[in-house]
Amino acid sequence: MADQASQTREPREIPTAFAIAEALRIAMASDPTVILMGEDVAGGGRRPEGTDEMGGIMSVTRGLVGDFPSQVLDTPISEMGILGTAVGAAVTGMRPVVELMFMDFIGTCLDPLLNQASKFRYMFGGKARIPLTVRTVTGAGMQAAAQHSQSLYWMTAGIPGLKTVIPSNAADAKGLLLAAIRCDDPVVFCEPKGILFLSTDVPEGDYEVPIGKANIVRAGSDVSLVGMGATVGMALAAAAELERDGISAEVLDLRSLAPLDEEAILTTLAKTGRLVVVDEATPRCGIASDVAALCVDKGFDLLNGPVRRVTAAMCPVPFTRVLEEAYMPSTARILEAVRGLL
Amino acid sequence: MADQASQTREPREIPTAFAIAEALRIAMASDPTVILMGEDVAGGGRRPEGTDEMGGIMSVTRGLVGDFPSQVLDTPISEMGILGTAVGAAVTGMRPVVELMFMDFIGTCLDPLLNQASKFRYMFGGKARIPLTVRTVTGAGMQAAAQHSQSLYWMTAGIPGLKTVIPSNAADAKGLLLAAIRCDDPVVFCEPKGILFLSTDVPEGDYEVPIGKANIVRAGSDVSLVGMGATVGMALAAAAELERDGISAEVLDLRSLAPLDEEAILTTLAKTGRLVVVDEATPRCGIASDVAALCVDKGFDLLNGPVRRVTAAMCPVPFTRVLEEAYMPSTARILEAVRGLL
Amino acid sequence: MQPTPEILQVAYRTMRTIRSFEEKLIELVNQGKLGGFLHACIGQEAIAAAVCAHLKDNDHVASTHRGHGHCIAKGVDVRGMMAELFGRSTGTCRGRGGSMHIADLEKGMLGANGIVGAGIPLATGAALSAKLRKTGGVGVAMFGDGASNQGAFHESLNMAANWKLPALYVCENNGWGEFTPTEFVVPVKDIAERARSYAMNAMIADGMDFFDVYAKAGEAIARARRGEGPTLLECKTYRFMGHYVGDPLVYRAKADADEWINNRDPLKLFETRVTSEGLLAADNLRSIDEEVTERITEAVKSAQAAPFPDAGELMQDVYAVG
Amino acid sequence: MQPTPEILQVAYRTMRTIRSFEEKLIELVNQGKLGGFLHACIGQEAIAAAVCAHLKDNDHVASTHRGHGHCIAKGVDVRGMMAELFGRSTGTCRGRGGSMHIADLEKGMLGANGIVGAGIPLATGAALSAKLRKTGGVGVAMFGDGASNQGAFHESLNMAANWKLPALYVCENNGWGEFTPTEFVVPVKDIAERARSYAMNAMIADGMDFFDVYAKAGEAIARARRGEGPTLLECKTYRFMGHYVGDPLVYRAKADADEWINNRDPLKLFETRVTSEGLLAADNLRSIDEEVTERITEAVKSAQAAPFPDAGELMQDVYAVG
Ligand SMILES: Cc1ncc(C[n+]2csc(CCOP(=O)(O)OP(=O)(O)O)c2C)c(N)n1
Ligand SMILES: Cc1ncc(C[n+]2csc(CCOP(=O)(O)OP(=O)(O)O)c2C)c(N)n1
Ligand SMILES: [Mg+2]
Ligand SMILES: [Mg+2]
């Protein structure tokens, strides 16, 4: 179904948030075992006359409870209970989608992912399916400060048995979310703040973007820029700028952080010999290091220079704008890294 | 005080578990604000006549409650409460040492580390001290299965504001723990199962092993083996084996996973040009990738070949011995990696 | 709710199987034949047997580190369980799980669990699932007094009460969490008291008395099936053995333990009652004993004869897809 | 416990400062002059003022995302707070924290907190610290009704009750958690009910009535200082504004809110009582109003004039050592 995206049709630009809602709507309509659980996902449920619901802090799920009243469940502020309950529901016939409002809150509910959902299938001898999706907002840039701005996907990507995906645009968000919901493995679906309200052309109807496959969003030959989520846009901006200097940059969108598409990374490295990986997360124990480590292991013979990591700084996310900007990766820092390589 | 270790004296071989108890004893005796909190750390506290206490599941803290009755606190099975309480105590004048029985349980209590202890100093404008130590058992090899065998130190090493250390022998365990307890930053102190009951020569008295400094445990010139915790022993065994083949391996014990001693890693790489990093943890988003990424970034010009990562397998820890052995890194796998490089 | 002789027979077989299974494990550990961390539930058999007597395969039970009894009572095959403890490929989990992770979803057993308290939300989820899919099933969490101090307990019970889920929360209060007496860490006498925080139905049963647990669990489960919401059922019991197999038990006064072991053994209490009331004959019980002994012996033999998994299987089944 | 006129004057100044501070914030946000996530506690001022009236600098308060009021009542300087919201280097946290992380350890303010429920164990730890160091201090957690559904609440209260810590748990039940009415997610009428799970002392106060909260908090704190253990004090209140500044409030019936805003405003109720009982003169209150307005205006001015931190400071103070 993925190729539906390429059929000729009217372009339809909608923000990522709407694309996510569309995916949820399609998933719930096509499968009654799909349920959406989380704090305020219905904005408190059915309201008295003259009031309306919010649909989550980002208004992503607004309007869903009206159309799927028995599939949208507002919960107490009990992340451990919500996620644990969702895992229990997932192994007994449901296909729950949990909204974890911000990924920063994972510290209150990691166990159901770390020790339950991710391990059941393996630990039980291959006899469980865990069709669980966790949607969660990631990233900095909104002055939301240290506890509402982290990109903690490295924590879930590092856990065997989980899958972690992150879209870089609205169309991928819709297709990746549909794929995640229908996957029989537990999938963490990240919603980067940096793209949530950006619009791109989104196909109508039902389609999936496959989990585990990276995507070349721009072809090039001098240097590879590997990004994910909001950093793909930064990489594309950098590539455009580099083109003016006669430097041809290829941009690879990882889309899937676990499993990692090693083949795609090595393929682009083989083409360019130089690689910069751009990650919104802090530098230690993250995706950027994994990409670099892959290059120096299986890709050593392809390397024409160092692999650079452009990441957030190794500190908590500061509130004030000037420090938050210094904290985050940026097009300027990508350019600086590339120019240092060539 | 660290050099006390090198003074001439009777060698005294004691297991790591005893060395840890010695450090706790010294720390509590020298500072009344040091308290030890955790499940069963006193084995339930003062007992009726004729009974004795356990001192934790590994018996590490046995006997401490008798000598420090007001400094050893048995807690309910409430990891989130324990850790959060310890953070609150740490910022208000105490120097708590929390025992988190197995690091696998971090999923029940990550928030106090992720969003509180690690961030207070930065977020509050530099005005807090958080002298908190979390002692926790890591690693596989005891058939303790998927939820009691993980090496999750990558999770804490990846969080800015925390420090994470792991000793490879009893003497380092004592000195690193004393340094951790006296450090004004929150420190996670890992106690690998693989060394807990191994004995090495441990100096008497009070000494610290500095946090943030790696240690060359064997000098060599052909290849660098970088290990941590229980993998240092594997690396040393591999080095001994390689010597018989005329290959000179240098073994670097990281000791500190965060901060990482980048200088020491680059120095050994400069010497040998070839590096294998050996980690008990799963391969994604871990220390091994960070070391490899450092090599291909700042150390690119020093590299004479790929950097190999010998790690656990990317799956949950299996129970049955034959699979658990296949899961873990080993001397044989280090040898294979090294021979593939030379 | 009065159990029929058929139910009593099944219950006795269950209790005896649990007891014999674990006595055998202890023997095997002492002989150095079994590895891993094992937790025996000897002394607590009546609870598992009585609760599960009301359950079918589409009812789900989430268990704990002390899970053998719950697994057996829920119908998991003891041959598979024994093979699992021996790490064989014929084990319930193909040798990958071990004692703390025995699960059998077809039997409605969501697994023993190495994380204290983790089973409570899992059972809650099974109850939610049963309610939404209208299966008529219930979700049952078995957990210890210690687990009632976990946040997961609080969060789950609140959700279950709020949604009136068909759930049963069985707290096996055995007076200990590892080496720590419950009264050192819990300031209330009865864990059942905690149900009030959620306006939840609560009951206390004598966990050594099969009949009492049977009646109260039956009432709670019927209530849940009728859509009237969850119950917290506290069963007062005692852990006859140490926390884990190998526990030196230095921390517990022997006289206190003996009091329970000698006078409150659930199997003995059961036997006294059924024989004195003429519900089952002593002969009948003895022939069950023999049959069970044989089954356990056979399970050990077949486990020891079974192959280990192949190291090449290491990466199988991490994911269902891809 | 009857407050003296001096205490009443301080309390009114505190409440008025909170109100004016937040009214100013809303104005500034509407003018696009402030960024970040801001949560106003307008309507809940009496609780912060009444509880903190009993506290000294060596008593510690842990707060929430809705923390401005607690900070002000605990004595944090409003100039620093305003500068913090503007992200300036003169801010309480040098611009790094923002609204959800204002803390001032010297004043015993352990910080606003962006994680619901996270302050509860922090206050428990402060209480443990006070007890062990014998400072005579107490640890106070301020939190919402929603936070009482977090595991951290359960675990902390159990520990505090078990250890008889000098702690006070103040639940500000404002009827909402974000956009969800409390009764949708909590099956008990009173959060105070939950204290029974820990055999903890409990009280319910009218959170709109300074006098009621003052008396009950005073009693609880005195009890804590005497070593008689912690209290859960539920204060019934209402969030006059939206969940966050900018909240479109589509989900709430205006009439319901107006009922509270018009008839149950804690500042108005306070004024009516103190003037009618002759405790404070209306003039006195008006001059406090003026003084407060001036302080807030000045705080905004000085904040806007203050420098931003330098980007080069980014990596400062991640660690105390090394
Ligand atoms: C989250 C977590 N904390 C601690 C442990 C270690 N642990 C295993 S069993 C146990 C005691 C549990 O007590 P209880 O819930 O009363 O069950 P019982 O062992 O008495 O059956 C503890 C502390 C664990 N497995 N998981
Ligand atoms: C652990 C966690 N979950 C969810 C949130 C998002 N959140 C912020 S405030 C809030 C509502 C809190 O309700 P309550 O505790 O009643 O406090 P109130 O806002 O009413 O003052 C929620 C859900 C969060 N910050 N932290
Ligand atoms: Mg117990
Ligand atoms: Mg509220």
- Residue B105: φ, ψ to 5°: -80, 5
* Contact in structure between A275 and A268 (CB atoms under 8 Å): yes
pLDDT of residue A1: 40
- Give how far the C-alpha of residue D244 lies from the chain's centroid of Cα atoms, to the nearest Å: 15
Question: Greater confidence, B53 or C90?
Answer: C90
Low-confidence ranges of chain D (pLDDT < 50): none
> What residue of A is the nearest CA neighbor of D117?
A77
Residue C78, in any domain of the structure: yes
Q: How many residues does chain C have?
A: 322
CATH code (residue B251)? 3.40.50.920
* Boundary residue ending a domain (A159, A179, A203): A203
Q: Is the pLDDT of residue A188 over 60?
A: yes
Q: Tally the domains of chain A.
A: 2
d(CA B137, CA B130): 22
Chains that touch B (3 or more CB pairs under 8 A): A, C, D
CATH code (residue D292)? 3.40.50.970
Residue B208, in any domain of the structure: no
Q: Tell me the CA distances in angstroms from C275 to B44, C8, C9, C17, C272, one per residue in order.
A: 40, 11, 12, 19, 5
pLDDT of residue C200: 98
Q: Is the pLDDT of residue A20 over 80?
A: yes
Local confidence band at B45 (pLDDT 50, 70, 90 cut-offs)? low
Residue D320, in any domain of the structure: no
Mark out the alpha helices in C86-171 (DSSP H runs): 119-133, 151-162
Residues B279 and B198 in one domain: no
Residue to mutate among B269, B284, B338, with most A CBs inside 10 A, is B284
pLDDT in tens, C59-88: 999 999 999 999 999 999 999 999 999 999
Ligand 3 being an ion, which residues bring their Cβ within 5 A of it? C 144-146, 174, 176-177
* Boundary residue ending a domain (B134, B169, B203): B203
Average of per-residue pLDDT across A181-206: 98
Residues B283 and B258 in one domain: yes
Give the sign of the dihedral formed by CA A46, CA A50, CA A56, CA A62.
positive
pLDDT of residue B46: 59
pLDDT in tens, D70-109: 999 999 999 999 999 999 999 999 999 999 999 999 999 9
Q: Tell me the CA distances in angstroms from C173 to A281, C41, C116, D151, D238, one per residue in order.
A: 45, 12, 14, 20, 40
DSSP C104: B
Q: What is the nearest CA distance from D29 to chain A, expressed in angstroms? A: 13
d(CA B42, CA B28): 14
pLDDT of residue A2: 43
Domain extent at residue C82: 5-307
Q: Does D105 touch chain C (CB under 8 A)?
A: no
Residue C200, in any domain of the structure: yes
d(CA D257, CA A171): 40
Peptide bond into A259 cis (omega under 30): yes
Local confidence band at B7 (pLDDT 50, 70, 90 cut-offs)? low
pLDDT in tens, A249-264: 999 999 999 999 999 9
Residue A94, in any domain of the structure: yes
Q: Which residue in the block uniquely carries the two structure tokens 């992150």?
A: A166
d(CA C24, CA C30): 10
pLDDT of residue B142: 96
Residue A37, in any domain of the structure: yes
Residues in B closer than 8 angstroms to C117, CB to CB, are: 77, 108
Q: Tell me which residue of B188, B218, B267, B208 sits closest to B3, measured CA to CA.
A: B208
Say whether C45 sits in a helix, a strand or coil.
helix
Residues B169 and B241 in one domain: no
pLDDT of residue C269: 98
What secondary structure, in 3-state letters, does B257-322 show? EECCCHHHHHHHHHHHCCEEEECCCCCCCCHHHHHHHHHHHCCHHHCCCCEEEECCCCCCCCCCHH
Q: Tell me the CA distances in angstroms from C224 to C105, C127, C169, C230, one per residue in order.
A: 21, 9, 11, 6
> What residue of A is the nearest CA neighbor of C131?
A89
pLDDT in tens, D122-143: 999 999 999 999 999 999 999 9
> What residue of C is the nearest CA neighbor of D229?
C187
pLDDT of residue B11: 82
At B48, which amino acid appears? P
B292 vs A284, A297, A318: nearest CB: A297
Residue D314, in any domain of the structure: no
- Residue B80: φ, ψ to 5°: -65, -45
> What residue of D is the nearest CA neighbor of B70?
D132
Q: Is the pLDDT of residue C148 over 50?
A: yes
DSSP D188: S
Which ligand lies nearest to the CA atom of residue D117 in the structure? 2
Residues B173 and B52 in one domain: yes
Domain extent at residue A31: 6-203
Residues B191 and B253 in one domain: no
pLDDT in tens, D100-110: 999 999 999 99
Residues in A closer than 8 angstroms to D100, CB to CB, are: 145, 147-148
In chain A, the N- to C-terminal Cα span, in Å, equals: 40
Q: Is the pLDDT of residue C117 over 80?
A: yes
* Contact in structure between B293 and A289 (CB atoms under 8 Å): yes
DSSP D65: S
> Which residue in B119, B148, B274, B309 is the catalytic one?
B148
Say whether C126 sits in a helix, a strand or coil.
helix
Q: Do A147 and D87 touch (CB under 8 A)?
A: no
Residues A132 and A219 in one domain: no
Residues in contact with A50: Cβ distance below 8 Å, sequence separation at least 6, in sequence order: D253
d(CA A287, CA A231): 13
Residue C144, in any domain of the structure: yes
Residue A209, in any domain of the structure: no
In short, whether D69's Cβ falls inside 6 Å of ligand 2 is: no
The token duo for C307 is 């192959």
pLDDT of residue B44: 66
Local confidence band at B10 (pLDDT 50, 70, 90 cut-offs)? confident
Q: Is the pLDDT of residue B47 over 70?
A: no
Local confidence band at C174 (pLDDT 50, 70, 90 cut-offs)? very high
Residue B210, in any domain of the structure: no
Q: Is the pLDDT of residue A44 over 70?
A: no
pLDDT of residue B155: 98
Helix, strand, coil % (nearest 5) of chain D? 50, 10, 40
In short, whether D99's Cβ falls inside 6 Å of ligand 2 is: no
At C300, which amino acid appears? V
> Any long-range contacts for D251-254 (C-beta under 8 Å, 24+ apart)?
D251/A43, D251/A44, D251/A47, D251/A51, D251/A52, D251/A53, D251/A54, D251/D179, D252/A51, D252/D176, D252/D179, D253/A47, D253/A48, D253/A49, D253/A50, D253/A51
Nearest-CA residue for atom 5 of ligand 2: D116
Residues B78 and B151 in one domain: yes
Q: Is the pLDDT of residue A6 over 60?
A: no
Distance C204 CA to ligand 1 centre (A): 21
Residues B224 and B198 in one domain: no
User: If phi over 0 gives left and psi between -120 and 50 gives alpha, with beta otherwise, what is residue A315?
Assistant: beta
Residue A179, in any domain of the structure: yes
Residue A157, in any domain of the structure: yes
d(CA D229, CA D231): 7
Residues in C closer than 8 angstroms to D150, CB to CB, are: 151, 155
Residues in contact with D20: Cβ distance below 8 Å, sequence separation at least 6, in sequence order: D292, D293, D296
Say whether A251 sits in a helix, a strand or coil.
strand
- Index of the ligand 2 atom closest to the CA of residue D173: 16
Average of per-residue pLDDT across C83-94: 98
pLDDT in tens, A139-174: 999 999 999 999 999 999 999 999 999 999 999 999
> Which residue in A62, A148, A174, A309 is the catalytic one?
A148
pLDDT of residue A3: 47
Residues in contact with C93: Cβ distance below 8 Å, sequence separation at least 6, in sequence order: A123, A124, A125, A127, B319, C84, C101, C102, C103
Q: Is the pLDDT of residue A45 over 90?
A: no
Q: Tell me the CA distances in angstroms from C35 to B2, B320, C27, one per residue in order.
A: 39, 9, 12
d(CA A22, CA C310): 45
Percent of chain A whose predicted confidence (pLDDT) is above 90: 90
Q: Tell me which residue of B224, B165, B237, B164 sits closest to B198, measured CA to CA.
A: B237
d(CA B62, CA B74): 12
Residues A262 and A198 in one domain: no
Residues B26 and B147 in one domain: yes
Residue B1, in any domain of the structure: no
What secondary structure, in 3-state letters, does A203-220 show? CCCCCCCCCCCCEEEECC
Residue to mutate among D124, D180, D190, D197, with most C CBs inside 10 A, is D197
Residue D120, in any domain of the structure: yes
**Helices and strands (H, E) in chain C, number of each type:** 11, 7
Residue D268, in any domain of the structure: yes
B113 is catalytic: no
Count of B-C CB contacts under 8 Å: 146
In short, whether D46's Cβ falls inside 6 Å of ligand 2 is: no
Q: Tally the domains of chain C.
A: 1
pLDDT in tens, B67-107: 999 999 999 999 999 999 999 999 999 999 999 999 999 99
Residues B40 and B170 in one domain: yes
Residues A192 and A232 in one domain: no
Local confidence band at A55 (pLDDT 50, 70, 90 cut-offs)? confident
Question: Above 0.85 for ipTM, yes or no?
Answer: yes
Chains that touch C (3 or more CB pairs under 8 A): A, B, D
Question: Exposed, middle or buried, C293 (CB in 10 Å: 0-12/13-18/19+)?
Answer: middle
CATH code (residue B102)? 3.40.50.970
Residue C314, in any domain of the structure: no
